[in-house]
Amino acid sequence: MASPSQVRTYLAHWFQLSKRVVSQDGQHHYLPSPIFSGEEYSPNFEWMWSQISANHADRFYLEGTDQSIADLLSPRWQIESCARCQMPVPTSHTHWTCGICPCSDLTTWPNESLPKPRSPIQTQTHLRTICSRLQQSEQRDRVMS
């Protein structure tokens, strides 16, 4: 079963490639902008999530897929990486089938020359990692000289 956190990450990744969440009847669609606010999802993203949750997640789909948001939150589905593009894609536990990857209708994806979509960045953790790598590089340079 995909957790709400995994489904939110799944949506955030695809929003970065301009995929929308659409209602079954086509009357509602969501593509929050911005997606992130610092280390968290943006208020627009949080508002969209609350709208989907409050308005029957079984009626909303990521554009280009067959599984509703409610399906993804059921025990039948989990989120894995697409073999083609490494983006999150739903897979079924019960039928050993993979949902259609939303990348299937993106002719320019995957594109290795572009940054890959991401989750919110924990700034302090990220900066510590960069500092650590720089310190290791300095130490190697000293040893080699």
> Would residue 27 count as lying in a domain?
yes
Whole-model pTM: value is 0.75
- d(C-alpha 122, C-alpha 145), whole Å: 35
- d(C-alpha 22, C-alpha 101), whole Å: 16
Detail the DSSP E strand segments found in 29-139.
29-30, 36-37, 40-41, 60-62, 77-81, 88-92
Q: What is the pLDDT of residue 47?
A: 95
Q: What is the pLDDT of residue 101?
A: 75
- d(C-alpha 53, C-alpha 89), whole Å: 20
Evaluate if residue 76 carries a pLDDT over 60: yes
> Would residue 67 count as lying in a domain?
yes
Evaluate if residue 88 carries a pLDDT over 80: yes
> Would residue 29 count as lying in a domain?
yes
> Would residue 127 count as lying in a domain?
no
> Would residue 54 count as lying in a domain?
yes
| Residue 96: band (very low, low, confident or very high) from pLDDT cuts 50, 70, 90 | low
Residue-number span of the structural domain to which 40 is assigned:
4-117
Average pLDDT for 65-81? 90
Q: What is the pLDDT of residue 63?
A: 92
pLDDT tens digits, residue range 28-55? 999 999 999 988 999 999 999 998 888 6
Number of structural domains (the chain) is 1
| 136: enclosing H helix or E strand | helix 123-144
> Would residue 98 count as lying in a domain?
yes
pLDDT tens digits, residue range 4-29? 999 999 999 999 999 999 999 989 99
Q: What is the pLDDT of residue 21?
A: 96
Nearest of 135, 118, 136 to residue 9 by alpha carbon: 118
Detail the DSSP E strand segments found in 29-140.
29-30, 36-37, 40-41, 60-62, 77-81, 88-92
Residue 128 has φ and ψ, to the nearest 5°, of -60, -40
